[in-house]
Amino acid sequence: MTGLLSGRTAVVTGGAQGLGRAIAERFVAEGARVVVGDVDVAAAESCAAALGSALAVRCDVTSEEDVAALVDAAVTTYGGLDVMVNNAGVLRDATMRKMSLDDFRLVLDTHVQGTWLGTRAAAAVMREAGTGSIVNMSSISGKVGNVGQTNYSAAKAAVVGLTKAAAKEVAHAGVRVNAIQPGLIRTPMTEAMREDIWQQRLREIPMQRFGEPSEVAAVALFLASDLASYLTGNGVGGHRRPAHVTTTREPPARPAGRITAAGRGVPAGAAAGSAACRPPRSARSR
């Protein structure tokens, strides 16, 4: 098979579903062998079986041992590591008044420590080979800050800083490190969000629509491939208006109810999102 990643080996953390799965699918379609690392090993195994040219490994990205074993699995099974996508993530949204320290720490540990461990382990292999691309999943939340996401916004901003610093450390060895900062994408992570939050976010998106996992996978492919051979230390990201700026044209109407991963409307209230995510009164009235 010929493709942009033909003959290369990639690891994708959190690859069992959502953006990670879309990235793994696109990489395999472009000729890569993919190691799907996920804390949900059953989901990772079913994903790897569906992908074909892929291996599933149980990995909690907050564990140094697990991340080392994940990278070792790629090297042992496929003979090297060309691409590392540090994508695994969790949300524990709540306003600061209600957020527990445990939920703050869990989100920081998963995104920041997890990305650092993955970047460090991958860079150690790649610098020996003199080539490689590391792609870290940040978020627009780290750029603009979201109500109810002091933990997540902090973590995703940190992922960009980590990426820029790591890029400078390993550029001389032929290793590139970049980040993606997606806007709002339909995945299992976001499907439980309340309908009014979806609508509020939609009003802030200049393109007036949500993104699809395949569109983030295309950016990951670009950064992973030789198309981005002179790009390192960058955050490729979404764009959002400040919440107080209104659109000149109303966004297209959507059926009442929240959006599911399949894009279908589910009756509002069927599975209300976290009440803690509710924006302050001033924002809700806009």
CB of 2 to ligand NAD, least distance (A): 28
Which one of the listed residues 27, 78, 152, 210 is annotated catalytic?
Answer: 152
82 binds ligand NAD (CB under 6 A): no
Let me know: does 167 contact 161? Beta carbons within 8 Å: no
Give whole-number Cα distances, 90 to 48, 98, 134, 165, 186, in Å: 21, 18, 20, 24, 15
Q: Is 78 a catalytic residue?
A: no
Residue 268: half-sphere exposure toward Cβ, Cα within 13 Å: 10
Q: Is 278 exposed, middle or buried (0-12, 13-18, 19+ CB in 10 A)?
A: middle
59 binds ligand NAD (CB under 6 A): yes
Single out the residue of 229, 228, 209, 207 nearest to residue 219, CA to CA.
Answer: 228
106 binds ligand NAD (CB under 6 A): no
Contacting residue, 25, 28, 34, 62, with ligand NAD by CB under 6 A? 62
40 binds ligand NAD (CB under 6 A): yes
Query: CA 271 to CA 118: how far, in whole Å?
Result: 34
219 binds ligand NAD (CB under 6 A): no
Which amino acid is located at 54 in the chain? A
Query: CA 191 to CA 207: how far, in whole Å?
Result: 20
CB of 130 to ligand NAD, least distance (A): 29
14 binds ligand NAD (CB under 6 A): yes
CB of 240 to ligand NAD, least distance (A): 11
Q: Contact region for ligand NAD (CB under 6 A) — 168-176, 181-189, 247-255, 267-275? A: 181-189
Q: Which residues of the chain form contacts with ligand NAD (CB under 6 A)?
A: 13-14, 16-20, 38-40, 43, 59-62, 87-90, 110, 137, 139, 182, 184-185, 187-190
List the catalytic residues: 152
